Amino acid sequence: MAQQKKMVEAITSMETDFAKWYTDVVVKAELCEYSSVRGCIVFRPYGYAIWENIQKILDERFKATGHQNVYMPMLIPESLLQKEKDHVVGFAPECAWVTMGGEDTLTERLCVRPTSETLFCEHFAHVIHSYRDLPMLYNQWCSVMRWEKTTRPFLRTSEFLWQEGHTMHETAEEAVNETLQMLNIYADFCEDSLAIPVLKGEKTPKEKFAGAEATYTIEAMMHNGVALQSGTSHFFGDGFARAFNIQFTGRDNKLAYPFQTSWGVSTRLIGGIIMTHGDDNGLVLPPAIAPIQLVIIPIAQHKEGVLEKAKEVFEKVKPIARVKLDDSDNSPGWKFSEYEMKGVPLRLELGPKDIEKNQCVLVRRDTREKIVVSLDELETAIPQALQAVHDGLYEKALENRKNRTWDAHNWEEFQSIAAEKSGFIRAMWCGDEACEDKIKDETGLKSRCIPFGEEPVGETCVCCGRPAKKLVYWGRQY
Amino acid sequence: MAQQKKMVEAITSMETDFAKWYTDVVVKAELCEYSSVRGCIVFRPYGYAIWENIQKILDERFKATGHQNVYMPMLIPESLLQKEKDHVVGFAPECAWVTMGGEDTLTERLCVRPTSETLFCEHFAHVIHSYRDLPMLYNQWCSVMRWEKTTRPFLRTSEFLWQEGHTMHETAEEAVNETLQMLNIYADFCEDSLAIPVLKGEKTPKEKFAGAEATYTIEAMMHNGVALQSGTSHFFGDGFARAFNIQFTGRDNKLAYPFQTSWGVSTRLIGGIIMTHGDDNGLVLPPAIAPIQLVIIPIAQHKEGVLEKAKEVFEKVKPIARVKLDDSDNSPGWKFSEYEMKGVPLRLELGPKDIEKNQCVLVRRDTREKIVVSLDELETAIPQALQAVHDGLYEKALENRKNRTWDAHNWEEFQSIAAEKSGFIRAMWCGDEACEDKIKDETGLKSRCIPFGEEPVGETCVCCGRPAKKLVYWGRQY
């Protein structure tokens, strides 16, 4: 127990210092490590395995909806980046620039891709000729680089891993449908696989992606009430197509510009998982993406028959869950603490007395609830318990969001909630960027989104009092 | 048939101009496209799908042998690259350098990783403390950048995709075993999955990886007799460990330096597949990595019942092979030509007369052999036919290598074979780099490897006539 105590003491409590708790968890759970490259992290095996599980689920969903993977160069010539004017203004300030190749200074500098719209457009211009080539539904898994001033593991790093979908369509309507389809895939993934409830909505013009006509977003709320933009999906109209001269011969035999989308989620989702579900004992992982879903810990393993039985149980469970048997020399208490820190959703304890009764004890990571289960019923009990952990995590996160969401009907109310509470404020907005700026400057809250399908909470702008039709969620953000 | 003729005419014959044939195939089969970034290509869906299949098979083999995936930063500070002196000499001349971040000139320039030994070593120094932490068996899938002067799609590009394994071990013996284990995994993969026979052997000191104590290689021979180094596995001794001060407490409680390996294969394997198996009708893909293993082409598809039956067959075959049904309006002849260009291993033709007889026609891409098969026997006939294509490709490639391998016993013989033939020359070598240089300068042939387990072909160096114990394969290379 001394070791266990030491381990738990090693992380800061969430209530004491949420930021410190977060960095303690990412290090102690061995998700990542700092590198000597400014703002870049090393993804350690346990952290990378979470990303591989995320990739696997999303990649299947992308392919099931007709998308194909491709790979574009990691460098973008400056002249190519400049072709779409809003886009370059948005991204140039945070580009890392390659200016030398071997011993030679380059005649044109190249940026390490911060996103790949320009490369995809150059390619689309070569391969799209006719309406028969459309829709073109591409996705790319890669790393991107944005020269950030302040960084935090997973949430904001100079380099991060992501996927970026890029599609081209015959009509604007079809492209908008694609944009929303992918937003829904992201939202379903967050809820079904990560147990993270998300708001779906549209970004205000000020918060749109550089070069987009409309940006849709899923917004999650972290345990401390701070928002995390967890995925975005953009409708570009034909703006990039015109800038890159991408044209196709339509069904009417006339040349036309296609309509474009792009959409992405990144390794910041790992940060979202940590901050949505974690607690003072460490990480808590949703079962769908947990590298280890169940850890078997033998009790009094030196006693005859315990390890043999544990191995038997391991073999039985292997086909139905990602399972690990820890038969190392560490004490059970040390192991409990270790796998709690690593957020393993279920622990299976098996000792001599359990074996006598042909049973074991399942312990949920989220609630620590213990269930005694017959060894003959593991095949049904384990999937049920994993589902219960998932459902429990989701409900708790949803409850937290409900408890931390307030309506503000006037400016005083808005200011007082912003000053006293941490969470989302729902308030009406006139649509004027000046009001959005004032809210940001005076309260630190930014617009999260104009939510889909929610009723207005008033008729006038919370900031200026003029008539307002748009309901907006406001919040602090990572 | 006019369309078919046109399509075939569109590629240069191998005999006329092998290099032109190669670039015609990569473009016409839609594997890749050129980009505006010097020496970088766009991996199109069909080319990238081949890489995904390669990744899937190798990743399973790596994990089955205890390796874990991680991800290191894509940039390396110059001071880190310089820590191991041979390594920096080897790689610095071909690095792309980031010198600016946003608007700011960096105080230290960063290279886009050409390989990641230095980053792994920096990390190992942080996480290796005790013999209990060893072996540490890591792998990374990523892209790397080497500023090449002349480039050719897949074979030599400034950016390429690869995997790099990096491992640390308690003893030199264990590290050497790992080096050879991974070489064997590569060799088995080439033979079992790519149908490419490879030579296994050790590189001469001159051809070793920068910083390695020993480099092992698998060497394949392309259809035209030119060699392709297809994978390498390096034993580093403890050289990097000393340079990076990586130490662990041993079983004897004393500090020691661990022993290191690294190993990699890259997207140049796709180039190897093209040049080993392709023909004048285009690509020929080994079934294990073909994105489409079988294409179903309905004949007279406007006739009643043909498309229905084709769909029925498609559903039947789906669980056992990656299958595509092409029911587009193009003529059967156009389709035959298209999927031959794309190297699809098997074609299934199904017309009204076949349907009457409850049969179909399977056509092998490699031999064009036709087999009439009962529709009731597809589940056995298709896997058999795919295996037959694999075996046929492998045998043909092995035959080509045998026919293009010669023994040279003296300098005149060596020179005359080198001048008249294209392929491998087996000849004895004294071990002196001066002889290796002379052979290169006078014949253009470089040492491929000192092969494992082959008998000497003489007792004296083919170049200088002094006593020689080492048999070496020599050849031109990509």
Judged by DSSP in three states, A393 sits in: helix
Name the residue in chain A with its Cα closest to that of B27. Answer: A127
Mean pLDDT (chain B) is: 96
Task: Report the percent of chain B where pLDDT is more than 90.
Answer: 94
Query: Between helices B268-277 and B378-403, what is the axis angle to 10°?
Result: 90
Written as six digits, the tokens of B305 are 């019942």
A110 to chain B, closest Cα gap in Å:
8
Residue B9 has pLDDT above 90, yes or no: no
pLDDT of A458? 96
Q: Are A335 and A400 within 8 A, CB to CB?
A: no
Whether B10 shows a pLDDT value over 80: the answer reads no
Q: What is the pLDDT of residue B4?
A: 46
Out of A41, A72, A93, closest to residue B42 by CB: A72
The model's pLDDT over B103-145, given as tens digits with 9 standing for 90+, comes to 999 999 999 999 999 999 999 999 999 999 999 999 999 999 9
Would you state the pLDDT for residue B142? 98
Average pLDDT over every residue of B209-220: 96
What is the rounded distance in angstroms from the CA atom of residue A61 to the CA atom of residue A67? 9
Please give the sequence-ordered ranges of beta strands (E in DSSP) within B92-251, or none if there are none.
96-101, 104-112, 136-145, 159-169, 198-202, 214-221, 227-237, 248-249
Is A93 in Cβ contact with B102 (below 8 Å)? Answer: yes
pLDDT confidence bin for B7, thresholds 50/70/90: low
Residues of B in contact with A98 (CB under 8 A): 96-99, 112
Place of tokens 């460990």: B241
Give yes or no for residue A105 having a pLDDT over 90: yes
B213 contacts B236 by C-beta, under 8 angstroms: yes
Task: Decide if pLDDT at A146 tops 80.
Answer: yes
Q: B100 forms bridges with which residues in the sheet?
A: A97, B105
Q: Which residues of B touch A100 (CB under 8 A)?
A: 96-97, 99, 109
Q: Do B36 and A70 touch (CB under 8 A)?
A: no
Which of B49, B52, B77 has the CB atom closest to A36's CB atom?
A: B77
Please judge whether A98 and B94 are an interchain contact, meaning their C-beta atoms are less than 8 angstroms apart: no
Q: What is the reported pLDDT for A16?
A: 95
- Determine, for residues B75 and A40 on separate chains, whether the beta-carbon distance falls below 8 Å: yes
Chain B hits for A97, CB-CB cut-off 8 Å, are 98-101
Please say whether the beta carbons of A50 and A36 come within 8 A: no
* Residue range B306-334: mean pLDDT, rounded: 97
How far from each other are the two terminal CA atoms of chain A, in whole angstroms? 36
Q: What is the pLDDT of residue A250?
A: 98
Joined tokens for residue B412: 């005149």
For an interface test with A, the pick among B27, B37, B124 (most A C-beta atoms closer than 10 Å) comes out as: B37
CA dihedral sign, ordered A15, A20, A26, A30:
negative
Q: How far apart are CA B234 and CA B230, in angstroms?
A: 14
Dihedral over Cα of B298, B301, B307, B309: its sign: negative
> What pLDDT was estimated at residue B58?
98
**Residues of B with CB below 8 A from A70's CB?**
42-45, 48
Q: For residues B169-181, give the mean pLDDT.
A: 98
Cα A134 to Cα A131, A137, A238, A244, B267: the distances in Å are 5, 8, 14, 17, 28
Please report the beta strands in A250-345, taking only residues with DSSP state E, as ranges in sequence order. Answer: 255-256, 259-266, 294-298, 323-325
Question: E strands, A301-358, where?
Answer: 323-325, 346-350
Sign (positive/negative) of CA torsion A67, A69, A70, A73? positive
Residue B96 in contact with residue B109, Cβ under 8 Å?
Answer: no
Provide the residue count of chain A. 478
Q: What per-residue confidence (pLDDT) applies to A7?
A: 53
Examine the pLDDT at B232 and tell me if it is beyond 50: yes
Rounded to the nearest angstrom, the minimum Cα separation between B389 and chain A is 27
The pLDDT of A65-82, averaged and rounded, is 97
User: Can the peptide bond before residue A135 be classed as cis, meaning omega within 30 degrees of 0?
Assistant: yes
The minimal CB distance from B102 to the residues A42, A98, A147 is found for A147
In whole angstroms, what separates CA B354 from the centre of its chain?
A: 40
The pLDDT value recorded for residue A87 is 86
B255: nearest Cα among B243, B264, B246: B246
- Asked whether residue B357 carries a pLDDT value surpassing 50, the answer given is yes
Q: Is the pLDDT at B316 greater than 90, yes or no?
A: yes
Question: Predicted confidence band at A150 (pLDDT cuts at 50, 70, 90)?
Answer: confident
- Per-residue tokens: B240: 């990097």
The pLDDT value recorded for residue A2 is 44
Parallel, antiparallel, or unpaired: how do β-strands B359-364 and B346-350 relate?
antiparallel
Q: Which range is least confidently modeled, A83-87, B299-303, B407-411, B421-425?
A: A83-87
Q: For residue B87, what pLDDT is reported?
A: 86
Q: Taking CB atoms and an 8 Å limit, are B103 and A93 in contact across chains?
A: yes
Write a three-state SS string for B398-435: HHHHHHCEEECCCHHHHHHHHHHCCCEEEEEECCCHHH
Length of chain B: 478
**CB-based contact B95 A102, cutoff 8 Å:** yes
Mean pLDDT of B182-202: 98
Name the nearest CA neighbour of B122 among A363, A42, A242.
A42
Q: In this structure, what are the phi and psi dihedrals at residue B279, rounded to the nearest 5 degrees?
A: -145, -170
Q: How many Cβ atoms from other residues are within 10 Å of residue A457's Cβ?
A: 15
In sign, the C-alpha dihedral spanning B82, B88, B91, B96 is positive
Q: Residue B122's Cα: distance from chain center in Å?
A: 29
In order, the DSSP letters of A275-294 are HHH-BTTB----GGG-S-SE
DSSP state of B461: -
Q: Which of A400, A411, A407, A312 is nearest to A354 (CA)?
A: A312
pLDDT of residue A1: 40
Please answer yes or no on whether A36 and B102 come within 8 Å at the CB atom: no
What distance in Å separates the CA atoms of residue B370 and residue B385, rounded to the nearest whole number? Answer: 10
The pLDDT of residue B2: 44
Q: Do A159 and B74 touch (CB under 8 A)?
A: yes
3-state secondary structure of B89: helix
Q: For residue A148, what pLDDT band results from cuts at 50, 70 and 90? A: confident
Chain-centre distance of CA A280, in angstroms? 22
- Residue of A35, A55, A104, A110 best to disrupt the B interface, most CBs of B under 10 A: A35
Of B164, B221, B159, B156, nearest in space to B190 by CA: B221
pLDDT tens by residue, B364-405: 999 999 999 999 999 999 999 999 999 999 999 999 999 999
User: CB–CB of B70 and A43 under 8 A?
Assistant: yes
Residue among A41, A43, A73 whose CB faces B37 most closely: A73
Beta partners for residue B42, in sequence order: B33
Give contacts of A99 with chain B, Cβ < 8 Å.
Answer: 97-100
* Ramachandran angles phi, psi of A286, nearest 5°: -65, 135
| Residue of higher predicted confidence among B199 and B89 | B199
Q: Which residue of B has its CA nearest to A56?
A: B56
Average pLDDT value over all residues in chain A:
96
Residue B201 pLDDT > 80, yes or no?
yes
User: Which CA distances in Å does A78 have to A107, B96, B97?
Assistant: 11, 15, 15
What does the pLDDT read at residue B101? 94
Give the nearest chain A residue to B91 (CA atoms): A102
The percentage of residues in chain A with a pLDDT greater than 90, rounded to a whole number, is 93
Distant-in-sequence contacts of B312-320, Cβ < 8 A, 24+ apart = B313/B348, B313/B350, B313/B360, B313/B375, B313/B378, B316/B378, B316/B379, B317/B348, B317/B378, B317/B382, B320/B379, B320/B382, B320/B383
Q: Is the pLDDT of residue B428 over 60?
A: yes
- To the nearest whole percent, how much of chain B has pLDDT over 70? 98
Which residues of chain A are within 8 Å of residue B48 when distances are taken between CB atoms? 68-71
Residue B141 φ/ψ, nearest 5 degrees: -100, 125
- Chain A, nearest residue to B120 by Cα: A42
Q: How far is CA A416 from CA A409, A412, A462, A476, B166, in A?
A: 11, 6, 13, 15, 55
Chain B residues in contact with A244 by the CB 8 A cut-off are none
CA B449 → CA B222, B459, B462, B472, B476, distances in Å? 16, 18, 15, 6, 12
Among the listed residues A198, A195, A197, A229, the one whose alpha carbon sits nearest the alpha carbon of residue A215: A229
Structure tokens at B358: 């409850």
pLDDT at B449: 98
Helices (H) and strands (E) in chain A, counts: 15, 23
Q: Is the pLDDT of residue A39 over 80?
A: yes
Residue (of A112, A22, A32, A21) closest to A75 by Cα position: A112
Q: What is the pLDDT of residues A1-35, one digit of tens each?
A: 444 445 555 799 999 999 999 999 999 999 999 99
Is residue A141 classed as helix, strand or coil in its secondary structure? Answer: strand
Q: Are B118 and B82 in contact (CB under 8 A)?
A: no
Report d(CA B375, CA B358) in Å as an integer. 6
Nearest chain A Cα to B41, which residue? A73
B63 φ, ψ (degrees, to nearest 5): -65, -40
